[in-house]
């Protein structure tokens, strides 16, 4: 074991109240955050991060939490990085026992979104109660992620607030680049129900191909669309030169003839497409005569639901525009990065004389602990064996969060409180964990878990001591669990490894003892002494059930758990005292498996 340092001198402040303690220094014409406050904040975040990751804090995660805590820190990125790097180095030299003790003294920080971000939900423009129709339209190419849940929660909440209609529509018309996955359709419905949203209608675009074909033929008939045999390279040159493709103004009958040839399999993929007429001299080249339908090699790329039945497929901008009109969608919430889609679709709506829905935009939300994930990337990594499945605790999927013991109410509150700001913001995973902690703290039964246990013999104990441990410290009606100390206990190896001979310590809610070394301790008192300054040590009785805890990094920590754990069921949410919240995954005859959620 590498040598660990003892505690540094701690900051005297137990809490960090920004409204009253915020201090700034004038420095070279700009405002700089107080060094003392930054050090304290970095230390507390580093301790929290270390205890979430087996004693090893990550500098990037700590920097992200500091930046998310208050935007003023973004004005001094170099200083924040320097302080965080130094503090993380110090924290990583401490063992987990010292880390936990110091965090207990300093106090953890429950992240909340900043006031400027916690905007809540604004009123929908031009909305009438009972007439609002919202839709959430994912591509079902994998399990729903935390990012998907944003649209699920916000659309669901608006439909509820306005007594409106909520549609779950699967935009599954890309069997090549984002091929849908058959199980994902059910997964989205299940997660919607888990989040508490009442879906009124479920639609699958792949069931509605005839409707898209009808609209395509109408668009050709009215001169709003044309079939184009230009290669991608040729059309790129036309678009660059802001000049019309030679097929654009050909007679409607010739356009319809090529369309029939497309539908009958007379072209190979890429030989012909259907384009919507826009403005070939538009300032934005991306909007110039965009592709609405293309030919797909369905033998090579069969659709998971309809197989090879269709080989001419609509692109998303056409398909979703038609569906929004047909279903009477009144309001669309989308990322501001999809503004081009809206501009493309407005051309189609103008051609048909339709009224475009009201649109609200939101900015990107980044969560640095998860890095950059896409559903396609996760699917490929799972197939390659990099992850154990969609519920692997390292992934930002709802399956993984549910497995870790996150509650749907916490996720809904997290997204609703962030609101619909168009600003791009970065938040810490701790913000979501804080919402979940508020709920679990009241609901979760308490248990003792002892990782990597080692036996300790208590000398001088004349009579057994029956320790009564509250099932929940704030709810006496839930009763107590009992464990009897008869002379030997099991404690975490790292909590006694560095104890010096003569150190007074307390077995949590059990007894006070003095460490004698070599696995021996001397009984001192049943009740804690007022002047005791030694550490608190977790414990369990001999022959306790074996336990394993799956950590967020997919590692497994083994140990023992108090016998009361055997009275629980799979899916119960518990707090392992001084360790963290989690979910029980399996209860055997004499063993328990759990998944760690967060501290």
Burial of 454 (0-12, 13-18, 19+ CB in 10 A): middle
Highest mean pLDDT among 284-298, 372-386, 417-431: 284-298
- Give percent of the chain above pLDDT 90: 75
Q: What is the rounded distance in angstroms from the CA atom of residue 87 to the CA atom of residue 81? A: 10
Q: What DSSP element (H or E) covers 154? A: helix 146-161
What's the confidence (pLDDT) of residue 81?
A: 83
- Same-domain status, 455 and 593: yes
Pairing of the two strands 365-367 and 425-427: parallel
Nearest to 550 by CA among 339, 323, 389: 389
- Asked if residue 372 is part of any domain, the answer here is no
What mean pLDDT do residues 46-65 have? Answer: 80
Domain final position from 285, 306, 321: 321
Q: How much of the chain, in percent, has pLDDT values that exceed 70?
A: 91
| Strand intervals (E) in 137-289 | 165-170, 201-204, 225-228, 273-276
The pLDDT of residue 49 is: 82
- Distance, in Å, from the CA atom of 391 to the CA atom of 143, rounded to the nearest integer, reads 9
Decide: helix, strand or coil at residue 45.
helix
DSSP reduced 3-state for 267: coil
- Are residue 451 and residue 596 in the same domain, yes or no? yes
Structure confidence by residue, pLDDT tens digits, 409-433: 999 999 999 988 888 888 889 999 9
Going by DSSP bridges, is the β-strand pair 504-507/536-537 parallel, antiparallel, or unpaired? parallel
Give the model's pLDDT for residue 52: 74
CA end-to-end span of the chain: 25
Report the C-alpha gap between 101 and 145 in whole angstroms: 35
Q: Which of 56-65, 149-158, 206-215, 467-476 has the lowest mean pLDDT?
A: 56-65
Q: Which of 52-66, 265-279, 478-492 is the least confident region?
A: 52-66
Separation CA 218–CA 505 (nearest Å): 82
Q: Is the pLDDT of residue 33 over 90?
A: no
Phi, psi for 585 (deg, rounded to 5): -100, -35
Q: How far apart are CA 586 and CA 568, in angstroms?
A: 9
Helix (H) or strand (E) run with residue 523 in it: strand 520-525
Query: What pLDDT does residue 32 have?
Result: 42
Between residues 562 and 531, the one the model is more confident about:
562
One domain, residues 454 and 597? yes
Question: Which of helix, strand or coil describes residue 313?
Answer: strand
Compute the distance between CA of residue 582 and CA of residue 440 in angstroms, rounded to an integer. Answer: 9
Domain shared by 449 and 589, yes or no: yes
Residues 463 and 592 in one domain: yes
- Asked if pLDDT for residue 156 goes beyond 80, the answer is yes
Query: How many Å apart are CA 247 and CA 583, to the nearest integer?
Result: 62
- Whether residue 469 lies inside any domain: the answer is yes
* DSSP, residue by residue, 339-363: HHHHHHHHHHHHHHTPPPPEEEEE-
Query: What value does the mean pLDDT of the chain take?
Result: 90
Checking if the pLDDT of 532 tops 80, the result is: no
Is the pLDDT score of 591 beyond 50? yes
Residues 506 and 112: their CA atoms lie apart, in Å, by: 34
Residue 307, helix vs strand vs coil: strand
Give the count of beta carbons closer than 10 Å to the beta carbon of residue 201: 12
Residue 410 in contact with residue 52, Cβ under 8 Å? Answer: no
Buried b (16+ CB within 10 A) or exposed e, 148-186: bbbbbbbbbbbbeebebbbbbbbbbbbbeebbbbeebbe
Q: Place 30 in a pLDDT band, splitting at 50, 70 and 90.
A: very low
Helix axis angle, 77-92 to 59-69, nearest 10°:
130
- Domain assignment present for residue 173? The answer is no
CA distance 99 to 575: 19
SS3 of residue 105 by DSSP: helix
Confidence band of 34 (pLDDT split at 50, 70, 90) = low
| pLDDT at position 2 over 60 | no
Pairwise pLDDT comparison (116 vs 397), residue with the higher score: 397
Asked which of 305, 321, 337 is the last residue of a domain, the reply is: 321
- pLDDT score recorded for residue 110: 65
Q: What is the pLDDT of residue 16?
A: 36
What is the reported pLDDT for 368? 80
Last residue of a domain, one of 109, 132, 147: 109
DSSP 297: -
Does residue 350 sit within a domain? no
Report how many domains make up the chain: 3
The larger pLDDT score, comparing residue 373 to residue 222, is at 222
**Is residue 596 located within the same domain as residue 450?**
yes
- 539 in a structural domain: yes
Give the C-alpha separation, 301 to 172, whole Å: 13
Does 222 lie in the same domain as 98? no
* pLDDT at residue number 96: 79
What pLDDT does 531 receive?
Answer: 64
**pLDDT tier, 8 (very low <50, low <70, confident <90, very high otherwise):** very low
Residue 588 domain-assigned (yes or no): yes
Residue 211 and residue 105 in one domain: no
Residue 371 in this model has a pLDDT that exceeds 90: no
542: phi > 0 → left, psi -120 to 50 → alpha, else beta; which? beta
* Tens of pLDDT, residues 298-350: 999 999 999 999 999 999 999 999 999 999 999 999 999 898 999 999 999 99
* CATH number of the domain bearing residue 306: 3.40.50.620
| Segment (H or E) for 188 | helix 182-194
Neighbours of 216 (CB within 10 A): 24
Q: Where are any strands of DSSP class E within 98-187?
A: 133-136, 165-170
What's the confidence (pLDDT) of residue 51? 83
Return the SS3 of 173.
Answer: coil
Task: Name which residue leads in pLDDT, 534 or 284.
Answer: 284
Q: Is 264 exposed, middle or buried (0-12, 13-18, 19+ CB in 10 A)?
A: exposed
8 A C-beta contact, residue 584 and residue 574? yes
Residue numbers of the domain that contains 288: 207-321
Residue 395's nearest CA partner among 425, 429, 361, 362 is 429
Confidence of residue 142 (pLDDT cuts 50, 70, 90): very high
For residue 530, the model assigns a pLDDT of 65
pLDDT of residue 534: 85
Answer whether residue 434 is part of any domain.
no
pLDDT confidence band for 470 (50 / 70 / 90): very high
**Computed from CA positions of residues 334, 335, 336, 341, in that sequence, does the dihedral angle turn out positive or negative?**
negative
**CATH number for the domain that contains residue 452:** 2.40.240.10
304: its two tokens: 């998971």
DSSP class of residue 566 equals: G
Name the pLDDT band for 111 (thresholds 50, 70, 90): low
Is the model's pLDDT at 91 over the cut of 80?
yes
The Cα 23–Cα 302 span in angstroms is 62
Paired tokens of 11 = 């900051």
Written as six digits, the tokens of 361 are 């935009």
In a domain, residue 271? The reply is yes
- Asked if residues 50 and 92 have their Cβ atoms less than 8 Å apart, the reply is yes
Q: At what angle do helices 408-418 and 146-161 cross, to 10 degrees?
A: 80
């Amino acid at each position: 074991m590498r040598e660990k340092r003892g505690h540094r001198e701690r900051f005297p402040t137990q809490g960090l109240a920004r409204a009253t303690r915020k201090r700034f220094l004038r420095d070279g014409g700009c405002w700089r955050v107080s060094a003392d406050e930054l050090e304290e904040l970095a230390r507390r975040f580093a301790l929290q991060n270390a205890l979430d990751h087996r004693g090893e804090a990550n500098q990037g995660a700590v920097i992200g939490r500091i930046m998310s805590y208050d935007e003023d820190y973004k004005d001094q990125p170099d200083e924040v990085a320097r302080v965080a790097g130094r503090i993380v180095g110090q924290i990583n030299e401490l063992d987990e026992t010292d880390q936990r003790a110091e965090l207990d003294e300093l106090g953890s920080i429950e992240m909340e979104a900043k006031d400027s971000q916690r905007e809540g939900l604004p009123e929908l423009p031009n909305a009438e109660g009972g007439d609002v129709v919202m839709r959430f339209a994912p591509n079902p190419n994998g399990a729903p992620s935390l990012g998907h849940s944003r649209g699920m929660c916000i659309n669901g909440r608006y439909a509820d607030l306005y007594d409106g209609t909520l549609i779950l529509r699967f935009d599954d018309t890309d069997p090549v680049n984002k091929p849908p996955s058959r199980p994902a359709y059910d997964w989205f419905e299940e997660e919607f129900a888990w989040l508490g949203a009442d879906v009124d209608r479920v639609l699958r675009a792949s069931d509605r191909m005839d409707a898209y074909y009808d609209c395509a033929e109408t668009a050709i008939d009215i001169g709003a669309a044309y079939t184009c045999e230009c290669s991608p390279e040729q059309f790129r040159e036309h678009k660059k030169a802001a000049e019309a493709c030679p097929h654009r103004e050909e007679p409607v009958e010739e356009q319809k003839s090529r369309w029939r040839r497309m539908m009958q399999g007379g072209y190979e993929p890429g030989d012909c497409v259907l384009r919507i007429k826009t403005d070939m001299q538009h300032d934005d080249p991306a909007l110039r005569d965009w592709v609405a339908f293309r030919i797909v090699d369905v033998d090579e790329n069969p659709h998971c639901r309809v197989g090879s039945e269709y080989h001419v497929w609509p692109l998303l901008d056409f398909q979703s525009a038609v569906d929004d009109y047909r279903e009477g969608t009144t309001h669309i919430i989308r990322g501001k990065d999809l503004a081009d889609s809206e501009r493309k679709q407005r051309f189609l709506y103008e051609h048909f004389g339709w009224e475009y829905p009201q649109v609200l935009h939101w900015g990107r939300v980044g969560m640095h602990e998860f890095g950059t994930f896409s559903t396609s990337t996760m699917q490929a990594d799972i197939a390659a064996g990099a992850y154990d499945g969609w519920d692997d605790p390292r992934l930002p999927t709802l399956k993984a969060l549910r497995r870790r013991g996150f509650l749907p109410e916490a996720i809904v509150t997290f997204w609703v409180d962030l609101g619909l700001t168009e600003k791009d913001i970065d938040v810490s995973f701790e913000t979501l964990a804080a919402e979940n902690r508020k709920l679990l703290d009241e609901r979760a039964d308490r248990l003792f878990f002892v990782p990597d246990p080692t036996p300790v013999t208590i000398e001088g104990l004349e009579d057994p001591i029956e320790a009564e441990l509250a099932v929940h410290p704030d709810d006496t009606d839930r009763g107590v669990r009992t464990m009897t100390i008869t002379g030997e206990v099991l404690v975490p190896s790292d909590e006694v490894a560095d104890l010096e001979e003569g150190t007074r310590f307390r077995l949590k809610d059990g007894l006070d003892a003095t460490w004698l070394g070599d696995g021996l301790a001397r009984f001192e008192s049943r009740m804690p002494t007022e002047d005791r300054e030694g550490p608190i040590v977790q414990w369990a009785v001999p022959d306790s059930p074996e336990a394993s805890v799956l950590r967020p990094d997919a590692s497994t920590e083994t140990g023992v758990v108090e016998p009361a754990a055997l009275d629980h069921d799979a899916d119960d949410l518990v707090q392992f005292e001084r360790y963290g919240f989690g979910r029980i995954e399996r209860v055997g005859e004499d063993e328990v498996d759990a998944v760690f959620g967060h501290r």
